[in-house]
Structure 1
Amino acid sequence: MEINMYAIFVCKNKQYKANIGKTIKTEKIEKKTGEKIEFNQILMINTNNCVHIGKPYLKNCIVKGVIISQKKNKKIKIIKFKRRKHYKKQQGHRQKFTEVKITEIIKN
């Protein structure tokens, strides 16, 4: 394993940068806490300043991780207001997310 190794991968149509040992917040993944997960859609891998770019994805490359927790973000408030019209609408939303700890990056 190289020290400066990182990968850019896709999870649910969003891109994330993965370093070994880093914790990443992704959109909710339907797996239980403690389960292992693999990401196969790797866009780019950097190994000691040698960059490999996929067209569109790299073959035989995997980012492995472990699901740490399933949580919700802080509540955001959505307020619609029109002055002098007696109109006010409030709504709240809490987005669910999954914390994944990256354990290894494999490049073949």
Structure 2
Amino acid sequence: MYAVVATGGKQYKVAEGDILRVEKLAGDIGSEIAFDNVLVFSDGENVKIGQPALDGVTVHGQIVAQGKSKKIIVFKYKRRKRYRRKQGHRQPFTAVRIDRIEA
């Protein structure tokens, strides 16, 4: 059994027991979270595809971590112009463990 959910402008294929890192969501560690925007659902035999989302299908999970990703360096440079800009960025994320998929 799996589902495809949309959150944070991205789509994720999830199954029960998976841990996925999504864009930062509000909530504390251990709190429940539900994804209502389910695009595809499969129970192993039948596949339901939403137009654009499915009604009556919800993915429930639990927040296991809130954190920041590794730092990336943004470096801008123009040769012969003495132009250099260095900036770092750490993207915040939320790790969610998928508990169940209700259809």
Task: Provide TM-score, normalisation by structure 2.
Answer: 0.96
Structure 2 CA distance for aligned equivalents of residues 52 and 31 of structure 1: 30
2:25 is aligned, of 20, 25, 29, to 29
2:12 partner amino acid: Y
Structure 2 CA distance for aligned equivalents of residues 49 and 74 of structure 1: 40
Q: Report runs of 4+ in structure 1 exceeding 3 Å deviation.
A: none
Over the residues paired in the alignment, what is the CA RMSD in angstroms?
0.9
- What is the Cα deviation at residue 85 of structure 1? 1.4
1:36 partner amino acid: E
- What is the Cα deviation at residue 83 of structure 1? 1.6
Q: What's 2:79 paired with?
A: 83
Report percent identity of matched pairs. Answer: 42
Structure 2: 5+ residue stretches without partners: none
Structure 1 CA distance for aligned equivalents of residues 55 and 88 of structure 2: 42
- What is the Cα deviation at residue 29 of structure 1? 0.4
Q: What's 2:101 paired with?
A: 105
Size of the aligned set, in residue pairs, is 103
Most deviating of 45-54 and 31-40: 45-54
1:13 and 2:9 correspond: yes
1:83 partner amino acid: R
Structure 2 CA distance for aligned equivalents of residues 88 and 59 of structure 1: 51
Structure 1 CA distance for aligned equivalents of residues 9 and 78 of structure 2: 35
Task: Provide TM-score, normalisation by structure 1.
Answer: 0.91
1:43 and 2:50 correspond: no
